[in-house]
Amino acid sequence: MAGVSRCMKYSMFIFNFLFWVCGCIILGFSIWMRVSSTRQEVESSILPGANLLIAVGAIIMVLGFLGCCGAAKESRCMLMLFFIALLLILILQIAGGILGAVYKPQVEEAFNLTLSASVNALQSTTGEYKEYQEEFQKLQEKEKCCGLLNGPEDWGENFNKPSSKICECKLEEASSDLCTKYQARFIYKKPCGKVIMQQIKDSLVIIMGVAFGLAVVEILGLVFSMSLYCQIGRK
């Protein structure tokens, strides 16, 4: 142990154990976000972010284990592998953040195109998208919204079918700000596209917060691992 600070060694071990725990939490949260996204528009929009977090969580768990072993065994090889992998992840996070900021308008445009394509499914009268339409009506009732982009117009002929209650407000909500009168019916006036977009933005805020927190932890990990690596080399 001569030449190696016990404080640095145990700090590195504890740090990587916490790093491993963080990986477990991220992996668990991302899997929950992945399996709980049952609505088609929301799922298709946050699926890439959830999959990315699953990969990040798994990698962090492996790195945490590698760092713990490197500190406990005073292995310069493990510590260097830990340092290089952590540095690469930090660089990729920075690059991903920059690309996300640069291509944000294109992402929003692609999302709007996806919504426009989904409008055709709502307007279909062939029965091909019957299950999708039923699920979307449940979304409307839950989120108190109507259509995707243009309210009741997005439903086309389906809106005026006999006994149709598409977008219809509950009796106690008819006089509230949530509803508006359309063709002698009180319907929800907010398009569901806005609700879905807000859900995506909320998810992105969580992802950005996790990424920022990880960046701080990763920088600390780089400092700890390189300091211990140098101390072991002088032993």
Is 216 inside a domain boundary? yes
The pLDDT, as a whole number, for residue 91 is 86
The pLDDT, as a whole number, for residue 38 is 46
The pLDDT, as a whole number, for residue 134 is 86
Is 33 inside a domain boundary? yes
Q: What angle do CA 49, 54, 55 make, to 5 degrees?
A: 100
The pLDDT, as a whole number, for residue 4 is 64
CB 169, CB 186: distance < 8 Å: yes
Q: What is d(CA 39, CA 58) in angstroms, rounded to the nearest whole number?
A: 26
Mean pLDDT per 10-residue interval, the chain, length 235 residues? 67 82 82 63 56 79 84 84 86 79 75 79 84 87 88 87 83 82 87 84 77 82 84 76
**Residue 128 backbone dihedrals phi, psi, to 5 degrees:** -65, -35
The pLDDT, as a whole number, for residue 1 is 42
The pLDDT, as a whole number, for residue 47 is 64
Is 123 inside a domain boundary? no
Domain membership of residue 99 as a residue range: 6-105+200-233
> What residues are paired with 185 via a beta bridge?
182
The pLDDT, as a whole number, for residue 36 is 64
The pLDDT, as a whole number, for residue 49 is 63
The label of the residue with tokens 């990315």 reads 52
Is 111 inside a domain boundary? no
Report how many domains make up the chain: 1
